[in-house]
Chains A and B, each alone.
Chain A
């Protein structure tokens, strides 16, 4: 199997280099982590450990979260444990499923927006309309935040 992985890596590297990319192949161990919460929701992550001290962590389930880079494997594990506790705490809520569905929906919307932008020449008025909707959404999130009771205190929220 190892031989075929090398063969496929060589093909990818050759194609990418010919496209003008700077490619580095880093040997690493891929770690796949999954927890099942009490309500049956699966929380899963993937990260790699390598000698170059670049650790890429990605949440896969219950909805994907963009890759983050860390300098130490301990940081990766600490983030996973904290994230898991956040979800464990959130799983007490009866609205957990709605929360996951909304997040998945937002993710699909972001992808649809990307396709729209990359595949079509959209007019300025439409761009402004979208910006307006995003602004409204952010306002809604901030209003709900101020009117709701905080339930997790181990870490400060990073985005609101």
Chain B
């Protein structure tokens, strides 16, 4: 009976995983269906399944989505984009630098997909006004958003999951990843500028049109802007002090979001309707799927095999996890990958002596930066391509890969040197 459970559990997991990767069926539907099958076939009990759901990750995601949904109503992003485009005097080369910085910073504080959804529409209007191809701008923004997201605990879902499963705090992510991501960001943006500089010529009359834009008109609700930015700053401060006051990051995010709804008096039903419940349910289903695999002992077996391959050597494991995560995340959804890797790394750390922190950083860096490798590597990339296609522009898989994959490999090489120098 136990052996049957083992086999059935692995089959359900693999079929669900394949279906998620294939993207033929909605990934949330597959994850939730797979999770329910795990309960129906008694691979995991209903109570255990519920206990496997990481409510800290879900709470943090929901809280931040609510805050972002209010901030984005204020027109703040349009204001920033117009202001910087005018500062650049309509020069597309300089605009790309400014928009990349905005994307990276915003992605570190919000999440990649939201950042892309905020910056891409503005970019399309600006590039349309300049009569210039928006693709170089969008590629720079995608890469920057993924880099910025990798720098903080709240910037990318893999980091949220890793933080929730470990003792790594908001400040740990900032101090360990922000310097690395800043270096990679500067090198990457310079290289993107070099790649596209010849194709970005703009007539002076179109530059003057950009200068005629009024950034102040973009702010739709000044009071709401002040309220929502204040709460966002308060929440970020809350994340940095959370570890000292023994409060979870989810508690901080939910506190900030509910306070914002109360003081701003925005319609809660509209704000909550904008929360990406599909993503939340996807995480829920995934936690149960991986939890079921853990409960039958499969993760343990996998971890033991990985330990035997690396002889339990932490430096080897760090580099292996970094490169494996980067390559796999270039082609696969990094969320299910990280969800599977977390119990695996957890188990390896429990049976191996030594500091496992470098392996966690390798997982985070690899999974987040790997998304830059291909146009399907991260949700932000797919969303940006979709928005571009609706405007009649197309980024092919190979075109994006030709530019972004070498940049991703370079970023992983830099990360390898960083990990070897400072952690091993």
Answer whether residue A103 sits at the interface, using C-beta atoms and an 8 A cutoff: no
Residues of A within 8 A of B214 (CB): 18
Contact A10 B122 (CB under 8 A): yes
Q: Are the CB atoms of B383 and A10 closer together than 8 Å?
A: no
The reply on B268 being an interface residue by CB < 8 A is no
Chain A contacts for B124, CB-based, 8 A: 11
| Interface set, chain B 96-120, CB cutoff 8 A to A | 113, 117-118, 120
Q: Is the CB of B390 within 8 A of A4?
A: yes
Say whether A8 faces chain B, with CB atoms less than 8 Å apart: yes
Task: Check A7–B390 contact: CB distance below 8 A.
Answer: yes
A-B pairs with lowest CB-CB distance, top 10: A10-B121, A11-B121, A7-B387, A7-B121, A14-B125, A17-B217, A11-B125, A18-B213, A14-B78, A11-B124
Q: Which residues of A contact B386 (CB under 8 A)?
A: 3-4
Known: A14-B121, A18-B217, A27-B270. 9 other contacts (CB 8 A): A3-B383, A3-B387, A4-B387, A6-B117, A7-B117, A7-B390, A11-B122, A14-B218, A18-B213
Instruction: Give the residue name and chain of the B residue nearest to A18 (CB).
Output: B213
Roughly how many angstroms separate A4 CA and B213 CA in the complex, as a whole number?
A: 24
Residues of B with C-beta under 8 A to A7: 117, 120-121, 387, 390
Number of B residues contacting the other chain (C-beta, 8 Å)? 18
Interface residue? A15 (CB, 8 A):
yes
Which residues of A approach B to under 8 Å, CB–CB? 3-4, 6-8, 10-11, 14-15, 17-18, 27
Q: Mark B365-395, 1 if CB is under 8 A from A, else 0.
A: 0000000000000000001001100100000
Q: Is the interface of B mostly helix, strand, loop or mixed?
A: helix
Say yes or no: A3 contacts B117, CB within 8 Å.
Answer: yes
A contact patch SS: helix
* Cα of A8 to Cα of B118 in the assembled complex, Å: 11
Question: When each residue 386-422 of chain B gets 1 if its CB lies under 8 Å from chain A and 0 otherwise, what string results?
Answer: 1100100000000000000000000000000000000
Across-interface contacts of A17 in B (CB, < 8 A): 217-218
Distance from A17 Cβ to chain B, minimum over Cβ atoms (Å): 5
Nearest-CB residue, chain A, relative to B126: A14
Q: What are 18 of the A-B contact pairs (CB < 8 Å)?
A: A3-B117, A3-B386, A4-B386, A4-B387, A4-B390, A6-B117, A7-B117, A7-B121, A8-B121, A8-B387, A10-B121, A10-B122, A11-B122, A11-B124, A14-B121, A14-B122, A15-B125, A27-B270
Complex: chain B residue closest to A21, CB-CB: B217
Would you give the shortest CB distance from B136 to chain A, in whole angstroms? 18
CB contacts (< 8 Å) of A10 on chain B: these are: 78, 118, 121-122
Chain A residues lying within 8 Å of B218, measured Cβ to Cβ, are 14, 17
Contacts of B78 in A (CB 8 A): 10, 14
Which residue from chain B places its CB closest to the CB of A11 in the assembled complex? B121
Taking CB atoms, residues of chain B closer than 8 Å to A6 are 117
B120 contacts across to A, CB distance below 8 A:
7
| Contact residues of B between 325 and 374, Cβ < 8 Å to A | none
Distance, CA A111 to CA B133, complexed state (A): 35
Question: Measured between alpha carbons, how far is A3 from B213 in the docked complex, in Å?
Answer: 26
B253-295 interface (Cβ within 8 A of A): 270
Q: Give the distance to chain A from B77, nearest Cβ to Cβ, in Å.
A: 9
B118 to chain A, nearest CB (A): 8
Shortest Cβ gap from B248 to chain A (Å):
29
Minimum C-beta distance from A1 to chain B (A): 9
State in angstroms the CA–CA spacing of A14 and B270 once bound together. Answer: 21
Complex Cα gap A14–B128 (Å): 12
Give the chain A neighbours of B118 by CB distance below 8 A. 10
CA distance A84 to B78 in the complex (A): 45
CB distance from B29 to the nearest CB of A (A): 16
Min CB distance B175 to A, Å, is: 33
Docked CA distance A11–B125 (Å): 6
A18 neighbours in B (Cβ, 8 Å): 213-214, 217
Residues of B within 8 A of A4 (CB): 386-387, 390
Chain B: minimal CB distance from A72 (Å): 21
Bound-state Cα–Cα, A18 to B124, Å: 14
Best-buried of B118, B124, B213, B214 by chain A (most CB within 10 Å):
B124
- The CA-CA distance from A152 to B120 in the complex, in Å, is 55
| Residues from chain B with Cβ under 8 Å of A8 in the complex | 121, 387, 390
CB distance from B106 to the nearest CB of A (A): 15
| A4 vs B218: C-alpha distance when bound (angstroms) | 20
